[in-house]
Structure 1
Amino acid sequence: MAPPGSRLDLQYRIRRWHPFRPAIEQSLALLDHADEETISRYQDRRLRQLVRLAEARSPFYRAWFREAGLDPRSVRTAADLARLPLLERSDLVTGAERFQVYPSRLLWEARSSGTTGAPITCYRTPGSSVFELSALERQWSWFGLGRSTRRVVLRGGLSADQTTRLLPGARQLLVSSFALTTQSLPAIIDAIRGFDPDAIEGWPSAIALLASFLHDQGLTLPVRAVITSSEVTTDAQADLMRAVFRGPVIDHYGQTERVALAGGCEAGGYHVFPDYGIVELLPVPGVRDRWEIVGTPLHNWGFPLFRYRTGDHVGPAGPGPCPCGRAYPLLGRVDGRHEEPFTSADGRSLPMPAIVTDNLDNVHQAQVAQLAPGRFEVRVVPAARLDLQAATAQVQANVDRYFGPGQAVTVRVVDTIPLTGQGKARNSVIDPDDVVPTSAP
């Protein structure tokens, strides 16, 4: 079996040297300070191309347009999207392959439980991945970072028994988010200093954990920027990161489905990236001043999604225009993923614990609960084809990989996952008294 970093390194090499990359970068650069009319024309042209592709190659979309009573050729502008039905996350849970218009061998698979606790599988083309990387590098350039930024990355790429792994093709040093302890810190610091990074990137909870260890020892690790995504960054976390890493915090928002992308600018605004996707904000029923993000991506030709409900909510946007001068729409604060770290049997902090449910098949929802340090329960709402034995084996493998050996975990089938006051299910909970109804046998 290839080392865990091999596939990632190969994909990043493909991204960096893809033949479409120069053209994509040029297009993104031209739109960086384009006016609203130019951006709108770009969106409409890409949308028409995507609709024609989906109608020509996808039996699902041909039936979808027909059932909506809509001629695909009549979808010519972003305003026409409102005539189409919404796609739900459950549509991907029950058969993501229906949305493919390219053969599977030409697509990369991605899995996540997102903010809703519903594990999904989706796909993207290598060209789509190149587009995303180029769009993010454009954002980073607003803060003075170059095209070949060297990044230390703290996400879920390494298991608990690893501390670091170098990906030369990606110009990245992976640091395990699950192996951060006072004992491992000296080796990790040596590896980071030897790598000489331009930026620290990853989950805010993992970066903040590393920063807290450094801060406790009176250490700093200056970089040019801290790049955050995948969960909400608290003000306290951001302050700690800036104090330890001595650089600005650059946040971006996205999803595994890649339907929308947004991020912070150098003037303090938070913008939708309109060349990445068309974003609609639909009012959240019964919740004042909250809108749900609905996205239509303009880059993923192999896996088109139209009017996809992300389940992510935003508050009101600040007053415009933004001092940065871009015509990109401003976005309010995203009520995104936020998970309290768990504690392992040996006392390690475990950020983003719901990663152990991301790759479960045939479940409508999943939630991981910490009953005590090192003792966990995964609760699943089953889909029709759930193989409980296989799911249990997958959960155990995931817990062993990310949380490390010596943990106790059980899997329980339930009828429902309780919702929060905002109408969402929590991906992870720390509550030994949490009562979840068990499914009838």
Structure 2
Amino acid sequence: MFKTVKSYLKFYATHNFLLNKRIEKIHTCYNSSSYDLLKNDKFLRMLRNVYNSNSFYKKLYDNYGVNIHSIKSIDDINKLPVLKKSDIRENPNSIKQGRGFLTKKGFTSGTTGSPLVVYRDYDSILNEHAYIWWYRINSGLNPKDRKISIRGDLNRDTIHYLDKASNTLFISSFALNDSNINKIIPIIREFSPKAALGYPSSLYTIASWLEENNEMLNIPLSFTSSESLLAFQEEIINKTLNTKLFDWYGNAERTIALYREDSKYYEPLLYSINEYEKDRVITTSLINNYFPLIRYEVNDVIDCTGKYDFNKKSIIIGGIDGRVEDYVLLPDGTRIGRLDVVFKGLNNVSMAQIIQKDKFTVDIRLVPLPTYSKNDELLLIKNLKSKLGNAINLNIVLVNKDQIEYSKSGKYKLVISKINRIYSISS
């Protein structure tokens, strides 16, 4: 009973008339003839606010020699210094602005094995939900429609759970072996969802099982996020789920979002300001005033075509790189992706990499900070076992940065599988 009440409170806290008003506001932006002025005004107001009331930004800009009054428009944004992950890691409490309402501490996924602490308040959480649901509603899915969610919400011990408040059947992405999928498929059929939400790797694992067993599902819509969506994954997902696939790109810092439509990506209006460079994107969030990040470096590689879509009022993005991951293959055939979550809360590690050479052993290479201790190792092993179980050996190896492996093009991957690769990645 308590769990049910809690789930309803949680759902309606972010799915209410306030959410609807913000979604309508996003629609208004697309119908506005003065969008550029709105964006410029929002940026300047935020900049003036942080300079006048935030000690971190005032000190940063003064030390950098920024004349805040010389910033007249977004065109002047490159006069401001670039924020690195190290700036956030060293100053999380100083970056926070005011007290905030119903604040929440979050962690980045830690693609270098060293996650950051970021903060959100109710206002910024509601803003994020508004953009996500604006996209989903435009694509044909409403919040109360039946849907399955295959993400990291459940552990290995809970294979599935029906949340009546959100009308969502949650399925553990950490329990997708052949035996469990065989049990889950009839449950999905009976539930008859309108949409599937999940990591690309999770939907692909389900889709691959369906293909191997000559079965199909009928799920009209699918929404992926949090990983790179690969072409071969999309093909099999579309075919075996009989679905139309949509993809949302974002980051835990909430400084950039892109939505996919007809194989291209676009910027949702007034979400952020993005400066696309060869090997990175410089991002400025417009949705989180509580933890403002201005000109924050994101190391994902994004293919900016340089072309503009006047109807969507957005630059056209050809594709997204930088999130391609391998799986860890368990002895029972379970394929586990998105293992970056095991490093959350592990603050004394500079970098990490998971390397698998056979089905029974995984090496975890750690570049420790001076404060690293046995307690960190025990926490990591506990986190890994919660996702991988006890059937695989875990070797913790302390290394220096030179022993972290990179691809020929200099790209880093958290997980490298050297056995029976499920797919190959050209670098």
Work out which of the residue numbers 180, 185, 188 in structure 1 matches 2:184.
188
Deviation, 1:253, is 0.9
Work out which of the residue numbers 333, 344, 347 in structure 2 matches 1:361.
347
Matches within 5 A, 1:77-156: 77-103=73-99, 106-156=102-152
Give 1:162's aligned residue. 158
Distance 1:195 1:87 in 2: 46
Structure 1 regions of 5+ residues with no counterpart?
Answer: 285-291, 433-441
- Is the alpha carbon distance of 1:112 and 1:153 closer, same or farther for their aligned partners in structure 2, counting shifts above 3 Å? same
The reply on whether 1:283 has 2:271 as its aligned counterpart is no
Normalising by structure 1, what TM-score?
0.86
Work out which of the residue numbers 182, 205, 208 in structure 1 matches 2:204.
208
Give 2:299's aligned residue. 311
- Is the alpha carbon distance of 1:313 and 1:10 closer, same or farther for their aligned partners in structure 2, counting shifts above 3 Å? farther
Letter in 1 for 2:342: V
The alignment partner of 2:395 has SS state of strand
Letter in 2 for 1:427: L
Give 2:413's aligned residue. 426
- Deviation track 1:234-291 (CA, whole Å, cap 9, x = no partner) reads 21110111111112110111111110100112x443102231101111234xxxxxxx
- Is the alpha carbon distance of 1:320 and 1:77 closer, same or farther for their aligned partners in structure 2, counting shifts above 3 Å? closer
Distance 2:356 2:199 in 1: 20
Give 1:63's aligned residue. 59
> Of the two structures, which has the highest relative contact order with CA contacts closer than 8 Å and spacing of 6 or more?
1
Work out which of the residue numbers 309, 312, 326 in structure 1 matches 2:312.
326
Contact 1:339 1:351 in 2 (8 A): yes
The alignment partner of 1:26 has SS state of helix
Work out which of the residue numbers 25, 28, 31 in structure 1 matches 2:26.
28
Distance 2:95 2:8 in 1: 27
Distance 2:110 2:73 in 1: 29
Deviation, 1:426, is 1.6
- Deviation track 1:281-307 (CA, whole Å, cap 9, x = no partner) reads 1234xxxxxxx2111010111110011
Contact 1:55 1:62 in 2 (8 A): yes
Deviation, 1:179, is 0.8
Distance 2:409 2:90 in 1: 25
Distance 2:236 2:308 in 1: 29
Q: CA RMSD in A?
A: 2.6
Give 1:225's aligned residue. 221
The alignment partner of 2:149 has SS state of strand
Give 2:363's aligned residue. 377
Deviation, 1:388, is 2.5
Deviation, 1:423, is 3.1
- Is the alpha carbon distance of 1:182 and 1:54 closer, same or farther for their aligned partners in structure 2, counting shifts above 3 Å? same
* Identity value in percent: 24
Count matched residues. Answer: 417
Distance 1:204 1:78 in 2: 35
Give 1:241's aligned residue. 237
- Is the alpha carbon distance of 1:136 and 1:102 closer, same or farther for their aligned partners in structure 2, counting shifts above 3 Å? same
Distance 1:60 1:144 in 2: 43
Give 1:393's aligned residue. 378
Normalising by structure 2, what TM-score?
0.89
- Deviation track 1:349-384 (CA, whole Å, cap 9, x = no partner) reads 212233322442132222122242242222222334
Contact 1:379 1:412 in 2 (8 A): yes
Letter in 1 for 2:255: V
Deviation, 1:25, is 1.3
Give 1:409's aligned residue. 394
Contact 1:117 1:425 in 2 (8 A): no
Contact 1:164 1:175 in 2 (8 A): yes
Contact 1:259 1:297 in 2 (8 A): yes
Distance 1:205 1:69 in 2: 46
Deviation, 1:192, is 2.2
Contact 2:264 2:318 in 1 (8 A): no
The reply on whether 1:269 has 2:264 as its aligned counterpart is yes
Contact 1:260 1:279 in 2 (8 A): yes
- Is the alpha carbon distance of 1:49 and 1:151 closer, same or farther for their aligned partners in structure 2, counting shifts above 3 Å? farther
Contact 1:344 1:403 in 2 (8 A): yes
The alignment partner of 1:360 has SS state of coil
